[in-house]
């Protein structure tokens, strides 16, 4: 659903393809997915998206190397949910580097 909405936004607003339009595009996507956000002014929501995306980056940096077992389990669960064989994607990446 996210991907489809983002694709529609990219098609409708060509400036959204620019790096400078990334957070605005994501804010538009959030408003479509969660109509309750429609009352938040566009610039404010764009700022919120900016902080959430960057907080995710910070979190990844701060927790790098931690919770490896939990991350692996969650990764395998997602692979199963998507219909893949757990570990298959990682094995393909390894084969490509050989």
The full set of domain ranges for the chain reads 1-64, 68-98
For the cut 70, the answer to whether the pLDDT of residue 98 exceeds it is no
Spatial separation of the C-alpha atoms in residues 26 and 63, rounded to whole Å: 25
Give the model's pLDDT for residue 83.
86
Q: For 39-66, write each residue's pLDDT tens digit.
A: 999 899 999 999 999 999 999 999 988 8
For the cut 90, the answer to whether the pLDDT of residue 88 exceeds it is no
For the cut 90, the answer to whether the pLDDT of residue 84 exceeds it is no
Q: Which two tokens stand for residue 33?
A: 């997915």
By CB atoms closer than 10 A (0-12, 13-18, 19+), residue 45 is buried
Q: Which residues contact 21 (CB under 8 A, 6 or more apart)?
A: 13, 15
- Mean pLDDT for all residues in the chain: 88
Q: Which residue has the higher pLDDT, 71 or 89?
A: 71
CB atoms inside a 10 Å sphere around CB 79: 16
């Amino acid at each position: 659903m996210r991907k489809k909405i983002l694709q529609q936004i990219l098609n409708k607003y060509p400036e959204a393809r620019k790096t400078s339009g990334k957070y605005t595009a994501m804010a538009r996507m959030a408003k479509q997915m969660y109509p309750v956000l429609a009352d938040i002014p566009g610039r404010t929501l764009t700022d919120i998206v900016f902080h959430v995306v960057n907080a995710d980056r910070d979190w990844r940096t701060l927790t790098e190397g931690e919770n490896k077992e939990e991350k692996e389990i969650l990764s395998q669960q997602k692979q199963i949910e998507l219909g893949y064989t757990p570990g298959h994607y990682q094995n393909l990446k390894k084969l490509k580097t050989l």
